[in-house]
Structure 1
Amino acid sequence: FKLLHLRTMVFSFTLSMYHFVIAFLFELRKRKCLYLLDKMQVDQEEGGQQKCHAEHTPEEEIDHTGAKTKSAVSDKQDRLNQTLKKGKVKSIDLPIQSSLCRQLGQDLLNSYIENEGKMIMQDKLEKERNDAKNAVEEYVYDFRDRLGTVYEKFITPEDMNKLSVILEDTENWLYEDGEDQPKQVYVDKLQELKKYGQPIQMKYMEHEERPKALNDLGKKIQLVMKVIEAYRNKDERYDHLDPAEMEKVEKYISDAMSWLNSKMNAQNKLSLTQDPVVKVSEIVAKSKELDNFCNPIIYKPKPKVEVPEDKAKANSEHNGPMDGQSGNETKSDSTKDSSQHTKSSGEMEVD
């Protein structure tokens, strides 16, 4: 049984090899025939072109000197023959297949969008935390620098030493335990520092801005006092003002002057380290109050005087004869001058 099976396998293999060889030889013969046919066709075409070229195109021409030269048509034919001998060019269309990229599912896409939003929010919170930390550090450095310069006159030595220790402790805390703290911790730390620093800063700002505010208020009081003095002297610019209202203005200016002098005297008695008696905001408010109370009264415009029609007509009639009289007088004066001139001329002639 095994021997029979082996023989069957050998026979099948031999038969398949025989069919393969027959098919291979047939294909080879077919390709050879096609090649020979193509070659014969090319040879026939080349022979026909050469024959046509030999019959109709002379290879040589005689120039004007009598010498034989090769024509331009012959050169073109040679280039054409060389091109034909190179062989045929066959174009084959290449197949192109397109495949779409796989898209993400809607659930997965929403998950990615949500994660992106969380990361953006986390970056924003981290930036705010760093900004709060930097604000504390900046306040420590800036205020400590000002303590030794512009703020030195507005704080006592004891308070300066105490505040310097607080600033130094805050700086050390920033680089140790406060290196990575939530935003609110830095905000609270900054507010705690400002409780010590803002009173000193307020004293400095009040000292710098108070002279200008007092000067502006004093100028306005002097201006109103000049108007009151002119009103008392019967100045025609202010003779239309109401006496009762001017009495109110005079009383208000007197009170404002007393208030200003008392505040200035009290402030001059204090040292720079003490809180001011009067703030700049109070002085500015007093100045605005003075403008609102006095200006509508002292700058009240004069009422327009309307002349009655009868009086205006009478004035026009009265001015007419005066003009005529003036003309007659001018005429008589000119006549008199002329006669005097004639008389003087006669006297000159007599002489």
Structure 2
Amino acid sequence: MSVVGIDLGNLQSVIAVARNRGIDVICNEVSNRATPSLVSFGGRQRYLGEAAKTQEISNYKNTVGSLKRLAGRTVSDPDVQEYEKKFIAGDLVDVDGQVGVKVSYLDEAQTFSNIQLIAMYLSKLKDITAHEIAGPVSDCVITVPGWFTEIQRRAVLSAAEIAGLNCLRLVNDLTAAALGYGITKTDLPEDKPRNVAFVDVGHSDYSVSVASFVKGQLTVRGTAYDKHFGGRDFDNVIVEHLAAEFKEKFKIDVYTNQKALIRLRVAAERCKKVLSANPQAPVNIESIMDDRDVQTIVNRTDFEEWASHLFTRTEDTLKKAMEVAGLTVADIDAVEMVGGSTRIPAIKTTISNFFGKPISTTLNQDEAVARGAALQCAMLSPVFKVRDFRVNDICTYPIKLEWTKSPEDDDTEIVVFDNNNNIPSTKMLTFYRSEPFTLEAKYANPADLPRGINPWLGQYTIKDVKPTANGDPAQVKVKVRLNIHGIFSVEGAHTVEEKVVEEEVTNKDGEKETKKTKKLVKTGDLKVVSGTTSVPHTVIDQYAEKESQMVASDKLIMATEAAKNSLEEYGYDMRDKIMGPLSDYIDPGIKDKFAEDLNTVVDWIYDEGDDQPKSVYVEKLDSLKVIGTPVVERYREAEERPRAANSLMETIQRVTKEAMSGDDKYSHIAPHEKQDIVDRCDRARRWLEEQLAKQEKVPKCETPILFARDISKEEEAVVAFATPILNKPKPIPKPAADESTDSPMADSDEKNEDDKAEKKDEMDID
């Protein structure tokens, strides 16, 4: 069974698997340890991950990124319109009430929701993993930002379901990093906790989490987020300044050309990475637009000045995290950083100065989150045994329940799960009602949510509520839960009544007696009708069916392309070889016709054969191989036959030499047996010479009469005949006679008689 952790990133994703008593980060099809988070659509198929990256510029209108940022959003969402729209060249549209994209796929306009796009990408990650572990992939843990709301988390879970993945947990990314940090530590304290600040500056957001560690346990104390502070914002700073410079210097406006803008963003990202390790970075872009090449130099000091408004925001999130955690800077024992953008020197300096201590480098900045997710998956999987380590995560946003005021209530709402409430968590609420009632779940502080996210979580109607027998309101217990994914639900409801029950108790004298006590007794389950932010199952089923069809179509296209490439490769390769090394091994009467057929196939592929069914390519290749394969086999036989013959002759000489040797280790073998070996070797030699002589008379272009496999069989027969004889063990030598007496036979007989008597006595003993 697979145990997989997926760090679902906005720019790229990392996959880790638990195996070989450890955690491995796996490579994709081009040997990269991170896969671009991109989905692209073409006239015949989809392109996912690395394949989509290669088309990011040429097919920009049908290539979609920022998949994680679109999760659970609507097209009218201010964040989508003001932020994400800048990074997606395609048309953003409404699909089933969600934000989606309109693209050209299979040469027709089609729309896909954000859930479908994420599912497509997860399917690609699933395929990468399956290929690496050579087995099926099912159970996984997926990381999401801690600031994700319920509707965003549900979108990722739905996408995983569509992709055929069983997501055991959606874990907050910095909680995963903290798990990977703590579970390997053997020096964690048992009493006073070790407080560690984890800082993650990724491609599109900035997260800080403060965790306390004791032996066998981590507890998240507080978190804070800047949802629009990441690597892409620093890239955009460079883009804006270089766009202005190019407009003045080269008289081009990249904002009027989408391809030029994408090329500049790619160059800006590369420039930022170079500046992280060097004082300056060159920027050279060939044919950015209007056949113009541009070049410039960016200094780190200039970059830091351009982005100063971003750097000043770094401390704000750190202060908020410390405030939520209830700790001071002096309480922090270590600072761990993850995320690619933490390599920017100014960010590292700001964070180090804030905490007054150097930044730790215990974790791999790019892979720590995926490794932690894989560990969490192993801990949840029944087939893996992992060191006991408890993870206490917390609720990011307080959740409240509201209801219509009734005569029995003074309040109309209650905060059920407050800020920093443990995840998962279950609570039991008590209501007094005489009739069915409805609860509405909402986020308590809408201002803290990402812009555009509706604070409403769900509506739950408690049915079948009736007064008690004496007409009083029934006491209703409602069970609410914040599950392991951070999703709220009403688990159930039931009524209870206070009844007098008789119990047997033991008194102080040790005697049994019956005692009457009042207890709350469950009297009946109540039906709960729920309405939540989850996508209806009918829609999920439609998405899953559509995804299955697209996967099958992609596989068929890839198989067709492979068949076409095989035909093309065979045509070129065989055409050259029959005029070269294979020339003597093909019948001259068909050689020219075969060469003509090969040329015809190659020309056909580049003409009407460019887009044909797989069966057509396979049929043409098979028809060519009817002639070509025997030619290749005759050539290979001509190459392998001498090697096989030499091997047989060497074996004959070796075995004959051993049989005729005067070596003491063969002295026990009878002469006639040695002669049998020599005769067998001689027969094999004569057979080989006769067969080789006959083969010499056969033209190279005809089927051989002597095959290398026949020679190998003869060699095996010689070895099989000689080995048992030559390996026959020597007989055990007879024991030497005892010369210490004058009458050995008499003594021996007497001794034997004594032995027999002794043995007989022994046998008679019971």
Shorter-chain TM-score category? 0.5 to 0.7
Give, in angstroms, the shift of residue 200 of structure 1.
Answer: 1.1
Corresponding position of 1:136: 567
Corresponding position of 1:298: 726
**Contact 2:587 2:702 survives alignment (8 Å):** no
Calculate the TM-score normalised by the size of structure 2: 0.27
CA distance in 1, matches of 2:725, 2:446: 100
Give, in angstroms, the shift of residue 244 of structure 1.
Answer: 4.5
Choose from 108, 130, 134 the match for 2:539.
Answer: 108
Choose from 452, 455, 477 the match for 1:98.
Answer: 455
Q: Which residues of 2 match residues 267-306 of structure 1 at below 5 A?
A: 267-306=695-734
Is 1:178 aligned with 2:595?
A: no
Gaps of 5+ in 2: 1-444, 448-453, 458-531, 742-766
Aligned residues: 217
Corresponding position of 1:240: 668
| 1:179-199 Cα shifts (integer Å, max 9, x gaps) | 322212211221111111111
Corresponding position of 1:7: none
Choose from 576, 580, 586 the match for 1:149.
Answer: 580
Give, in angstroms, the shift of residue 309 of structure 1.
Answer: 4.2
Corresponding position of 1:261: 689
CA distance in 2, matches of 1:214, 1:188: 38
**Contact 2:660 2:674 survives alignment (8 Å):** no
Give, in angstroms, the shift of residue 95 of structure 1.
Answer: 8.9
The alignment's C-alpha RMSD in Å is: 2.5
Give the 3-state SS of the residue equivalent to 1:104 in structure 2: coil
CA distance in 2, matches of 1:102, 1:218: 80
Give, in angstroms, the shift of residue 304 of structure 1.
Answer: 3.3
Corresponding position of 2:736: 308
CA distance in 2, matches of 1:260, 1:269: 15
| 1:110-139 Cα shifts (integer Å, max 9, x gaps) | 112211121111111111111111111111
Letter in 2 for 1:270: V
| 1:146-176 Cα shifts (integer Å, max 9, x gaps) | 1222112222433220110111122233233
Q: Which has the higher contact order (CA 8 A, sep 6+)?
A: 1
Corresponding position of 1:326: none
Is 1:193 aligned with 2:624?
A: yes
Corresponding position of 1:118: 549
Calculate the TM-score normalised by the size of structure 1: 0.56
Letter in 1 for 2:718: L
Corresponding position of 2:103: none
| 1:198-233 Cα shifts (integer Å, max 9, x gaps) | 1111111111111111111111112232234346xx
Distance 1:309 1:119, change over 3 A: same
Give, in angstroms, the shift of residue 140 of structure 1.
Answer: 0.3
Give, in angstroms, the shift of residue 288 of structure 1.
Answer: 1.1
Answer with 295-304 or 207-216: which moved more: 295-304
Letter in 2 for 1:98: P
Letter in 1 for 2:617: Y
Distance 1:248 1:104, change over 3 A: same
Letter in 1 for 2:588: P
| Larger strand share, 1 or 2 | 2
Is 1:208 aligned with 2:639?
A: yes
Letter in 2 for 1:246: K
CA distance in 2, matches of 1:224, 1:103: 79
**Contact 2:564 2:614 survives alignment (8 Å):** yes
Is 1:168 aligned with 2:582?
A: no
Answer with 95-104 or 259-268: which moved more: 95-104
CA distance in 1, matches of 2:622, 2:708: 24
Corresponding position of 1:10: none
Is 1:222 aligned with 2:650?
A: no
Letter in 1 for 2:590: D
Higher Rg = 1
| Larger helix share, 1 or 2 | 1
Give, in angstroms, the shift of residue 248 of structure 1.
Answer: 3.2
Give the 3-state SS of the residue equivalent to 2:668 in structure 1: coil
Give, in angstroms, the shift of residue 99 of structure 1.
Answer: 3.3
Corresponding position of 2:678: 250
CA distance in 2, matches of 1:112, 1:307: 87
Gaps of 5+ in 1: 1-93, 315-351
CA distance in 2, matches of 1:161, 1:222: 46
| 1:230-288 Cα shifts (integer Å, max 9, x gaps) | 46xxx654331134433432332232122111011112223322322211111111111
CA distance in 2, matches of 1:124, 1:288: 45
Distance 1:298 1:102, change over 3 A: closer
Letter in 2 for 1:99: W
Letter in 1 for 2:666: Y
Letter in 2 for 1:120: V
Letter in 2 for 1:117: S
Give the 3-state SS of the residue equivalent to 1:310 in structure 2: coil
Answer with 125-134 or 148-157: which moved more: 148-157
Is 1:127 aligned with 2:551?
A: no
Give the 3-state SS of the residue equivalent to 1:122 in structure 2: helix
Give the 3-state SS of the residue equivalent to 1:220 in structure 2: helix
Give the 3-state SS of the residue equivalent to 2:609 in structure 1: coil
CA distance in 2, matches of 1:298, 1:156: 48
| 1:58-90 Cα shifts (integer Å, max 9, x gaps) | xxxxxxxxxxxxxxxxxxxxxxxxxxxxxxxxx
Distance 1:157 1:309, change over 3 A: same
Give, in angstroms, the shift of residue 142 of structure 1.
Answer: 0.8
CA distance in 2, matches of 1:300, 1:213: 28
Give the 3-state SS of the residue equivalent to 2:660 in structure 1: helix
